[in-house]
Amino acid sequence: MPQLSAIDLLASGKTDKETAELLNLSRTCVTKWRLYDPVFQAALNHRRAEIWGAGADRLRALIPKALDALTAELENPDSPNRLKVAGQVLALTQMGGSALNVGPTDPEEIVRRVVKDRRAKTPGMMDELDDTGKGLPPFKRHMEETWRELEAHASEPDDAGAPPTDLPPSGE
């Protein structure tokens, strides 16, 4: 179950190198999973969403107390921390909902985004109208080709030899 363990380690903040060392894998193996395996990416994003969701719930529970403390500090004209607190309050108001965005949790959506990004970046005669002038295959075939390409990158051998995956393929 190296992929599931890698997901937990990466979601907890470990680097590819740290994760690989803890699981006795090569760093490139972990990096390939993270960069080229849509099923792994989706599972990692799902795990991050779970972790960050729990953290966000705890943070939301602290907001009333924190706001009370900030208010008390801001209302105290003799406080040496007033300016610092005011700056923190203003910085917090800039943090939108996207600050905790973890990405798609569906492997199909990850591949769809890769294909859409590639299609959007490919210059063509009629970029504004459609993709037909770009010499690209139909979208469905482009999705299938991209899946195969990413799977090939993820399964390339590395120094330590990549272990078999333990995540179900997409659609299971």
pLDDT at res. 57? 84
Quick: pLDDT tens for 81-136. 888 888 887 787 766 555 557 788 899 999 999 999 988 887 665 544 555 567 78
pLDDT beyond 70 at 58: yes
- C-alpha distance across the termini of the chain, in Å: 17
Dump the DSSP string for 83-126: HHHHHHHHHHHH--GGGG----S-HHHHHHHHHHHHHHHS--TT
pLDDT at res. 17? 97
